């Protein structure tokens, strides 16, 4: 006879047998790192769709799903908040393909002002451009002979921290509330995979990527003088980093931008969509809201 305890055990076993970690992938930032995952369950997909208009809730749900459905092949804790944003999205992208298929039916509004009709587009999700990370790692940016920036890509936990920071700032400075509110919102309503549309978004993103600022000493006056060590500025707040970037001249700011463009990896969610009524073609960017 099976008692309730046995029933639960058998149910768990059956669930595990039906949902093995059957798919594998490699991180975009480092192809040597292999992960295994199971497709999303009906309940998980339902949860996403229920909150689809609230991006912050959706991101939290996605973290939970990643935690439950993914593991590292070499073992060790799988913590989705430690993933680079681009790797995190790459895993979700793979899960989406295996859970809901490779096509996406989505609605766009035709941007031809004379037309403006809603367009239903069937998008082949496997046709997006995928860029792998640089195998040589992410070097630093030499702004001048004496100023070097140590850079890294943004991880999910940086974004969570940024959200907390913008919330605190909202509460602290009542006067600037509207501005800060707007900055925080802009940052979050834009998918991190969507490359900057506005200057504020790009600035916030680059600021999060600065790990430290290194100041090199002046070259010694004579070869007998012992060279001074580098000064390293770590523990910079997001405010400090933004302030620093805002003070750069255009040439130096472009070096930061170039570093980002040259090293970026991830799934580009840009897609050309044609309006079936007026044949107007426009590049659309998918966001999380219409991805699942």
Which residues contact Zn ion (rule: CB under 5 A)?
110, 112, 115, 275, 277-278, 280
Q: Which is nearer to Zn ion, 31 or 116 (CB)?
A: 116
Q: Which is nearer to Zn ion, 40 or 110 (CB)?
A: 110
Q: Which is nearer to Zn ion, 97 or 278 (CB)?
A: 278
Residue 253 Cβ vs Zn ion, minimum distance, rounded to whole Å: 38
Residue 271 Cβ vs Zn ion, minimum distance, rounded to whole Å: 16
Residue 272 Cβ vs Zn ion, minimum distance, rounded to whole Å: 14
Residue 283 Cβ vs Zn ion, minimum distance, rounded to whole Å: 15
Residue 94 Cβ vs Zn ion, minimum distance, rounded to whole Å: 33
Residue 108 Cβ vs Zn ion, minimum distance, rounded to whole Å: 10
b/e map 168-196, b = 16+ CB within 10 Å: ebbeeeeeeeeebeebbeebbebbbbbbe
């Amino acid at each position: 006879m099976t008692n309730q305890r046995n029933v639960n055990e058998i149910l768990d076993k059956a669930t595990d047998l039906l949902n093995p970690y059957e798919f594998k992938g490699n991180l975009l930032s480092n192809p040597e790192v292999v992960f295994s995952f199971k497709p999303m369950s009906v309940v998980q997909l339902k949860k996403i769709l229920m909150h689809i208009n609230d991006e912050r809730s959706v991101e939290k749900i996605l973290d939970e799903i990643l935690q439950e459905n993914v593991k590292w092949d070499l073992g060790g804790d799988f913590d989705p908040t430690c993933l680079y944003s681009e790797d995190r999205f790459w895993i979700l992208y793979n899960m989406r393909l295996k859970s809901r298929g490779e096509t996406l039916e989505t609605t766009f509004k035709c941007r031809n002002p004379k037309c403006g009709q809603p367009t239903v587009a069937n998008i082949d999700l496997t046709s997006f451009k995928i860029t792998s990370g640089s195998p040589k790692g992410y070097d630093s940016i030499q702004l001048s002979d004496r100023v070097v920036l140590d850079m890294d890509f943004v991880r999910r936990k940086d974004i969570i921290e940024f959200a907390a920071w913008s919330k605190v700032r909202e509460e602290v400075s009542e006067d600037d509330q509207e501005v800060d509110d707007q900055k925080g919102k802009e940052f979050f309503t834009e998918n991190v995979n969507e490359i900057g549309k506005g200057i504020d978004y790009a600035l916030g993103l680059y600021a999060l990527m600065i790990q430290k600022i290194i100041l090199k000493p002046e070259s010694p006056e004579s070869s007998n003088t012992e060279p001074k060590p580098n000064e390293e500025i770590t523990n910079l707040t997001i405010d400090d980093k933004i302030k620093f970037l805002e003070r750069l001249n255009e040439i130096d700011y472009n070096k930061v931008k170039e570093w980002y463009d040259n090293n970026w990896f991830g799934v580009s969610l840009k897609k050309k969509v044609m309006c079936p009524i007026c044949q107007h073609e426009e590049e659309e960017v998918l966001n999380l809201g219409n991805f699942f």
